[in-house]
Amino acid sequence: MLNKGAITLKSRLLLAPMAGITDLPFRLITRSLGCEFAFLEMISARSIVHQSGKTGRMLNSCEEDSPLGAQLLGHEPESLLEAMDKVLPRGFDILDLNAACPVDKVVKKGKGSSLLKDPKKLQTLLAAMVKHADLPVTVKIRAGWGSTSVNACEVARHAEDAGISGLTLHGRTREQGYSGRVDYNIIRQVKEAVSIPVIASGDALSPQLIKKMFDETGCDAVAIARGSLGNPWIFRDTMAYLEKGVIPERPGPDELTDTMLRHLNLSCDFYGEKRGVILFRKLFAWYVKGLHEVRQLKDLAFKAETRQEMQDLMESVRSYTYSHHEGYYEGFALTC
């Protein structure tokens, strides 16, 4: 059980916020396969303040998309609080501040993991958000800025002093980005240093790795990000593995293809056919990653312009997987 402020979750798995990925269609697919709590895509506080059309769509949700968290990107109290005034009426369950994004264009502006360099400033930002909000406020951080500045415990203590309800820790430094090993030790140290829930992040790519994360760190929950790309079944499979020690069989040809079709239709209905198909191209590639000899199908998917063209390609995936029987998905466990 994970208790984040006023939120009590049965599952110890969350869908992490991913820019350009965790939109409403993506979240609905993962929820249908065991995801209980999800985050929107990371959203710039300034974009919310300026009310861009794209940002408005990113904030959209529906009755089935609950409980739900919103993650803000920002470094100025004024813009963060103004953005909160526009976000809070939408009924989100948790509000998170991103202090973990390692992307150059983000940190150069003093946002994301740049905030790790000044724990007291981060504490001030979080304290202002906590005071302004009527819901649990959390923060996502990293192990530190670099190998010589691993300060997650210090940052976590300052964040806790700000009154937050929980934190997510990616076990890599900003310097590492998404490469190199996740440091389980720093996650355990942070868990022991604070009394609020600690959610672990980084390389949650399979049920086995997620169990290892729990065992090695003592964390309260795990946030799944890249592990869900093309594999929304990771939530269902991990819960089964944690509870029974057995991973369900991999999705067969019909389940794989039907899930892809449902995801495509959700995307087209949400964005309109043209943009929905374009955005689904990368999703197609992720879904078929691990399938043997499907390079041609992926190439065709990146040229598809209509819903029907993409649907036809998915039926080709169905036919291909049936014709190759047991051997069609040998790489799946390694790539998810």
Residue numbers annotated as active site: 101
Contact 317, 288 (CB under 8 A): yes
3-state secondary structure of 223: strand
Preceding amide of 67 cis, omega within 30: yes
- Of 149, 160, 24, 43, the closest CA to residue 98 belongs to 43
Contact 163, 176 (CB under 8 A): no
Show the tokens assigned to 105: 């264009």
What are residue 139's DSSP bridge partners?
A: 97, 167
Q: Give Cα separations from 13 to 43, 85, 273, 294 (angstroms).
A: 22, 29, 32, 31
| Cα angle value 314/238/212 (rounded, 5°) | 130
CA distance 28 to 61: 10
CA distance 236 to 59: 26
**Burial letters 252-282, b for 16+ CB under 10 A, else e:** ebeebbebbbebbbbbbebbebeebbebbeb
3-state secondary structure of 95: strand
**Burial letters 162-181, b for 16+ CB under 10 A, else e:** bebbbbbbbbbbbbbeeeee
Q: 185 Cβ partners below 8 Å, 6+ apart?
A: none
Phi, psi of 171 (to 5 degrees): -80, 30
3-state secondary structure of 43: strand
